[in-house]
Each structure stands twice: as structure tokens, then as C-alpha cells.
Copies of this chain bind each other. A is one copy, B any other.
């Protein structure tokens, strides 16, 4: 280890101890304690992001940190959980720099504060490959109320938060993407879509609304089409394509190349909430979402039957997607 780069203990003390929450012993222990709220269940989730796979190595380290935490908190939000803390396992590549790490810690601290989710501990290792950020996040729900993914029933309405496809289009428009889309695009639209790719916004405000009203929910991380398929066990679904919410920027880009609609629906990284709602709860759910400050759109219905979801275009024709879901794997 060179003097120019500090050892693991020094790194932790300098960059990560300031982010530590209660019970984390200032990261000077090998574990942290967390006092559960009486009458609550813990909800646990783990998601890792890898340089060159889930983000561009040259993305700002503050953005990478925010994304790493955000994708985990998006899972907690979809389960109806309130964040309590997280553990970070950071695999640093051979060419890591303290400048990068300082930026990463700064972004992680800001995201941690914004999302109300303190750092509780973790591990730092070296890798001969790409950097990897593996986070485990903990949240809480009142006992027995975790919102599940399986169990949608025929007749349930399918709803989705925010807008779909922005991040996938942002990925296609990212200047570092060698397989990107190179058609003409407004600079502000490009910036807005890349912003959505870089900075997922976990829908934490929806957690109590989901617990109260929905049958099942998940976050959209691998594309609307593929993730909806994962939600269907013993049922199928019909989605009205024209009802899928798109941002103005996404509409304009898709208008200039209609094949990009498939990117929007299958590309992933939305981190919006996808859920199935009993029909008699739909209106209250939409109102509750609006009161929580999140747009929520009814896009279709759960149907009896089997097979992947069917997407209907404006002529009532069924659209199939060659590639239903983005797989990083």
C-alpha cells in the first residue's frame, strides 16, 4: 500500500464514519445494532451496481453513489417500507483514487440524508475488475404489511408511477454510450433523460399509500414489460399502450424514431412503482398517490389466463416486444 492512498481503516474513518447513523458505533465495530420499532417487521433488500454494466465509469462519483442507494430504496418503497439504514460493500478497482472516493462519499452522504437512511456499516475490498457497489438496505413496515410482488388477481387495475422510459432513453443518449442513439435531439431533452438515468428517485412517499391500497407492487428496474411479466403468476395482463405515461422529452425523442418506444418499455432503470390495485380501491389509491405528490396512472388490467402481458396499440392491435426485459446479467 502506498502512502499516497490510505489504508482501509483510515479511509473508513475519513470518508464513511461521518455518514454513520445511531447504532453504527462510528463504524469502529464489525457490526451495527438496530432497534426495531415494536410491532413492525424488518424489510431487507440487496442490489449491486457494477461500473460499465449499471453505470458509466466516468459518471460523476456523486451520481454513482446516489444511484447505488436509490435503487435499493426504490425496492423498499415498492414494499411499502420506511428506510432505517444500509450497509455498503465497496469493491474498488486497482486504479481508484481518493478524489473519486471523496466524491462518492459526498454523494452517498447527501443521498443518505435526503432519503433519511443512515449508513450502518459495510466492507471495503479490492477487485482486479470493475468497481462494484453492493448495498443492503433495511426498512420497516407495520407487522405483516410488507407489500408483495405475487398475488395479483383478474380485474385488478395496473398502475404505474411517474413516467416510463426516460432512463432507458437517457442511457441511449448518454455521450459515453458507444451503442447509443445518434439521431437529432434537443439538448434540454437529452439532459433531462440522462438525469433520469443517473439519478433514480425512489418513491418513498408512496410507501404508506401502497400499504393501504394495493394488492401487489414492485419497482420497475428492468423495464416495464419484463417487470410486469415477473408480477404475473397464474394470470396475465392487458396494457393500453397509449396510457403508459411518457414525459414530454420521451415523447419527442420517440416521435423522431418510433422504434425507441420499445427502448422505453423494455429498457429499465425507471425506478417507478408498478402495482396491481383491486378495482374498488383504484380511485382512493390514485387520490392518495396524488396527495403524496406522485403522479400515478392506470395503464391496464390483470386478466385471467397465462402468458406475458399484452400491449394494445391505438388500433387495438397487440404489440409484442422482441426483448421483454433488460437483463444486465
Contacts and interface: CB of A to CB of B under 8 A. Distances in A.
A149 B24 CA distance: 12
Interface stretch (A46-54, A285-293, A298-306): A46-54
Contact of A148 (B29, B122, B148): B29
Given A48-B89, A91-B132, A127-B50, A75 B41 contact: no
A46 B122 contact: yes
A281 to B, nearest CB: 21
Contact of A327 (B7, B79, B88, B127): B7
Interface string A65-95: 0000000000110110100010111010100
A176 interface: no
Interface in A269-308: none
A172 to B, nearest CB: 21
Interface string A203-217: 000000000000000
Given A125-B48, A136-B136, A33 B43 contact: yes
Interface string A160-195: 000000000000000000000000000000000000
A307 to B, nearest CB: 16
Given A129-B128, A129-B130, A44 B146 contact: no
B121 A45 contact: yes
A170 to B, nearest CB: 21
A31 B50 contact: no
Contacts of A148: 25, 29
* Residue among A33, A85, A132, A146 with most chain B CB within 10 A: A33
Interface of A: 1, 7-9, 23, 25, 28-36, 38, 40-50, 52-54, 75-76, 78-79, 81, 85, 87-89, 91, 93, 120-130, 132, 134, 136, 138-139, 141, 143, 146, 148-150, 218-219, 221, 230, 233, 327-329
